[in-house]
Amino acid sequence: MSELQDFDLEPTEESQKRGPLTGPIAIAVGVVVVAVLGFFVWRWSQQREVPVPEEEAAPAVEAPAPESEAAEAVAPVDLPSLADSDEWMRAVVAQLSAHPELFAWLATDDLIRRFVVVVDNVAEGVSPRTHLEFLEPEKGFGTREAMSRVYVDDSAYQRYDKVADVIASVDVRGTANLYRSVKPLLQEAYRELGYPNKDFDEALLEAIDTLLRTPVVEGQIELVPKVSSFEFADPKLEQLSDAEKHFLRLGPDNLRKIQAKARAIALEIGLPQAQLSP
Res. 58: pLDDT tops 70:
no
Say which residues have a Cβ less than 8 Å from residue 177's Cβ, sequence separation at least 6.
38, 41, 42, 73, 74, 75
Return the number of other C-beta atoms located less than 10 Å from residue 116's C-beta.
Answer: 28
At residue 133, the pLDDT reads: 57
Please give the share of the chain, as a percent, with pLDDT higher than 90: 40
Interatomic CA distance for residues 148 and 68, integer angstroms: 58
Q: Which of 108-117, 157-166, 252-261 has the highest mean pLDDT?
A: 252-261
Q: Provide the pairing of β-strand 230-232 with 149-152.
A: unpaired
Q: State pLDDT tens for residues 98-109.
A: 556 666 667 778
d(CA 173, CA 156): 32
Higher pLDDT, 135 or 12: 135
Whether 186 shows a pLDDT value over 90: the answer reads yes
Mean pLDDT (whole number) for 123-128? 83
| Range in 27-31, 120-124, 177-181, 228-232 with the lowest mean pLDDT | 27-31
Handedness of CA 2, 19, 208, 127 (dihedral sign): negative
d(CA 141, CA 76): 44
Least confident range from 2-16, 62-76, 187-201: namely 2-16
pLDDT at 45 over 60: no
Helix or strand or coil: residue 143?
strand
User: Is 97 exposed, middle or buried, given 0-12, 13-18 or 19+ CB atoms closer than 10 A?
Assistant: middle
Longest CA–CA span in the chain (Å) reads 79
- Whether pLDDT at 145 is above 90: yes
Q: In the predicted model, what is the mean pLDDT of residues 131-151?
A: 78
Q: What mean pLDDT do residues 67-90 have? A: 70
Of 67-81, 115-129, 164-178, 211-225, give the lowest mean pLDDT range: 67-81
Residue 209 has a pLDDT of 94
Provide the strand spans (E) within the chain. 143-146, 149-152, 222-225, 230-232
Q: Are 187 and 200 in contact (CB under 8 A)?
A: yes
In angstroms, rounded to a whole number, what is the distance separating the alpha carbons of residues 128 and 150?
A: 27
Asked if pLDDT for residue 204 goes beyond 60, the answer is yes
pLDDT value of position 228: 81
pLDDT value of position 17: 35
Work out the average pLDDT over 248-256.
94
pLDDT computed for residue 83 by the predictor: 94
Residue-level pLDDT at 104: 67
Residue 235 confidence (pLDDT): 96
Instruction: Count each helix (H run) and each strand (E run) in the chain, helices first.
Output: 13, 4
Alpha-carbon 37 to chain mean position: 11
Q: Quote the mean pLDDT of the chain.
A: 74
What whole-number percentage of the chain has pLDDT above 70? 63
Which pLDDT band, with edges at 50, 70 and 90, does 176 fall under? confident
Does residue 72 or residue 140 have the better pLDDT? Answer: 140
Share in percent of the chain as helix, strand, coil (round to 5): 55, 5, 40
**Is 121:210 a contact under the CB 8 Å cutoff?**
no
- Give the pLDDT band (50/70/90) at residue 39: very low
